[in-house]
Amino acid sequence: MLSPNRSSSQTRRDLPETAVDTHPRCLEMAEAMRDLFAVAGGVRPEDLVSNGFTTAEIIEFRDSAANLAALASTKQITIRPDLLEDMIEKARHAAPNRPPLPGDAQPTQSLLQAWGEYCASRGALLLDPWSGQRERCISVLAGYLDRLPIFPTIRTNVIKAVEAAMPQVHQ
């Protein structure tokens, strides 16, 4: 047992609370794990031994190295908000799974339902083109756009562009 005045020869990491180890061998193991996983679809202890890691290193660093490998292999993809051109294109094609969502819009249930109503009215117009269907389609689109945090000018531009792309019908 060590006396209170004697220090230990062991060194501790700077932040022992962190879940990720930054020891050089841990970083090497993480890179080896990424390579092994890419080639074989998994990492076995035997694979790490054949890459030059000792059993003690594997026991000490495997969890931290696996976390580092996963972090390095994962990309965070953020979807950019729709610009005016994107909103027009999406409204022209009216795909139920692709609603136009500008900057501050969150895809809430009511918003998605309003978009679904527009897509249904757009489909009805394509199946049975007549002036009442066309007016209803524009009205439903306007209702959807009213729910979005956009300027009235943008709303008007989207509606005009979609109207121009819609089939012309006669009474």
Q: Which residues contact 162 (CB under 8 A, 6 or more apart)?
A: 88, 91, 92, 138, 141
Q: Distance between CA 153 and CA 19 in Å, rounded?
A: 51
- What pLDDT shows up at residue 121? 94
For position 72, what pLDDT does the model report?
80
pLDDT in tens, 70-110: 888 766 566 688 999 999 999 999 998 899 999 878 888 99
Distance of alpha carbon 98 from alpha carbon 152, whole angstroms: 22
Task: Answer for the pair 61, 21: CB distance below 8 angstroms, yes or no.
Answer: yes
pLDDT for residue 58 is more than 80:
yes
Q: Worst-scoring range by mean pLDDT, 11-20, 34-43, 132-141?
A: 11-20
DSSP single-letter state for residue 42: S
pLDDT at residue 66 is higher than 80: yes
Angstrom distances, CA of residue 103 to CA of 43, 78, 84, 88, 100 = 42, 12, 11, 15, 10
Q: Give 31-42 pLDDT, tens digit per residue.
A: 999 888 888 788
According to the model, what pLDDT value does residue 19 have?
Answer: 53
DSSP 69-123: HHHHH-----PPPP-HHHHHHHHHH--TT-----TT----HHHHHHHHHHHHHHH
Measured CA to CA, the distance from residue 134 to residue 59 in angstroms comes to 68
Burial of 101 from C-beta contacts in 10 A (0-12 / 13-18 / 19+):
buried
Residue type for position 20: V
For range 47-72, the mean pLDDT: 90
Please state the rounded mean pLDDT for residues 120-139: 92
Please name the residues in contact with 143: beta carbons below 8 A apart, sequence gap of 6 or more. 114, 117, 118
Tokens (6 digits) for 141? 């689109």
